[in-house]
Structure 1
Amino acid sequence: MVRDYSRFFPPADTGAPAREPDALQRLGWQAFFIRQAGHLDLAATPPLRVSEVQRSGLTALGADGEITLPPMPGVTVGDWLLHDRARPARSVLLDRRSLFRRRAAGTGREEQLIAANVDTLFIVSSCNNDFNPARLERYLALAHEAGVEAAILLTKADASEDPGGYADRAKAVARQVPVLTLNALEPGAAARLQGWCGTGQTVAFVGSSGVGKSTLVNALMGAGAAQTGAIREDDSRGRHTTTARQLHLMPGGGLLLDTPGMRELQLTDAAEGIAGVFADIEALARQCRFRDCGHDSEPGCAVRAAVDRGALEPGRIARWRKLLAEDRFNSAALHERRARDKAFGKMVRNATGNKAKRRDG
């Protein structure tokens, strides 16, 4: 589907000076990317930002509007490219300011890129049975690892008898992270998010299906921006209504990345992100008598002492251990796959070289 973004860019026939820099700034073009472009002729290799990735190709936005490109490996939504007009498949992928990634869903050992160059991650949950501290911690670790600011949005506040209680539970696992309770259907919901949605700022939404992400997209973009689905009362879950990650220009000046519900978020190479989410436990662990303390029954364990005096919830320790174990397993599996692929590539190159030598000899 081709979207009409013409209202965001200056008319081509006004005779006014070129305004490409303004249009690119609206897309998030900034000094970090300008430095990479160096002294290149941007008229010949114009910057484009990827707004959608499909198997058949890419959709990207630039100063002149929307363009379709052939598939490019290793490219994800939010990436910046320097577009090679003559050979689009050879367009240059610029370094990223931030990158969300995970182990691909299922039993495979592939890494999946989620989104690039995001400024703020809105973690959406709801004030009902969908609320899950462990899931919040996973998303927060994802944000910490990417170096992206996070904010937690608790929807369905109007349908809850105790929205403040849900907010307190979120704050307990998300220290120094903003937590907002809201009703996405109220006119003021979008206004409460505007501080993160300034010109050129990119925000992304993650969370389970049916918690109100698409409704918030509508609030920021205007009605009809994303198809919404109703939550079923029996299990508080909704149908999966968003099927592809897409980057949208918001009328207020920012950019919005809507993502499908991630049913199987698994962390990979996210040790620093986990440490950031569980900074309180990490600080206690450094005070233990033994460096290799398992935080079970060892003498001088500062972590167990905090649990015993009621300063630390046992469940939080269990979730910390679970994420660390998952990250170690996934990271080892991914590194094994990379090493195997590297060895296979070397074998192919050697075989090709030997064949050429025999032919020439």
Structure 2
Amino acid sequence: MGLFLRNFKLGSFLVCNNINKFCTYTNSSRVKGMDLCNVVKTLEEFAPLKLSESWDNVGLLVQPSAPLQVKTILLTNDLTEDVMEESIQKEANMIVSYHPPIFKALKHLTNKHWKERLVIKAIEHRIAVYSPHTAWDAMQNGVNDWLASGLGKMKSIIPVTLSTHKISNKLVNVKVPLESASSLLADLSTSFGNIQYTELHACSEIQVRCSNENVTDALKIFHKHYVEPKEIIIIESSSVPILNSGTGRMCSLDKSAPLEKIIGRIKKHLSLKHVRLAVGRGCSLTSAIKTIALGAGSGASILLGVNADLYVSGEMSHHDVLDAVSNGISVVLCEHSNTERGYLNRFKEILGKELGNQDVQIIVSSTDRDPLETY
């Protein structure tokens, strides 16, 4: 009988292929749900996509035809075919996959490649797919800060490189006599809100931030106050730094600890029995560790050249490890997704509060795991 039952609901269980194999979940019919657009808006407010790297592919990657009422969200580090089957069995209609399952351009959708099959199944089963990836890495209290939280009490944690926000506006800068500054400022304030005024020794410097479209309006006001064109400097403003957000983390421990003890903290935090270790030249397991540079996932591009006692990441190439070791820096590698996956449990609690626990059910994948393991 079990061989003939497929996707048959029984109470709050789902019978999958065999009557002896049950997949427990909360019956989605009891969950109110939320419109997909509102869920996506919440995700983007939590981790703005402007924080992601320019090369990344983030945001809503698969959008079934509207309307879509999201009742169950499945969180995963990697969207594999096993995870997709799990989401279908548990009736998830949205998957938040940390790594984007669509990265390189897909020229066709067939059953020949596993990533194409993922997209086909998502569309067939009306499952939305969203990926935050490097936006979660860069944000404050994101993946990298979670990774750092298991290393010990910190004196300071700062991004290795700050994120920047791309903007398309201009700074219009002028210097005018002190006696004419007040009337000019009064006129500018009627049209512009972002004005900086500095009183110098013999004149006043006024800087107006405006969009490309209203630069002409600023010039007209300057002309009205007899400001010579040669006194006007227009500066292109392309980006501004975003404090507390960026790539990797530079950590300074409150108290130094032996390398061996730091390794123990890492293994406990990530629930790992083993990590890979390269001891820096002139160092040992008893060497004091005070500064730690880390980058979840693949950290070489973030960490190399950073001055620290220890590098912590998921993976680095052989030659990058040799480079660090030759500079007296020890390296701990935990495999790529092991440095990221644990954040999903923290995010589950955060997202539940943001969406309202009674509206959407949130589950963390039970089949998602790092493809590499010790044997």
Query: Structure 1 or 2: larger helix share?
Result: 1
- Whether TM-score is above 0.5 comes out as no
Give TM-score scaled by structure 1 length.
Answer: 0.24
Richer in strand (by share): 2
- TM-score, length basis structure 2: 0.24
Q: Which has the larger radius of gyration?
A: 2
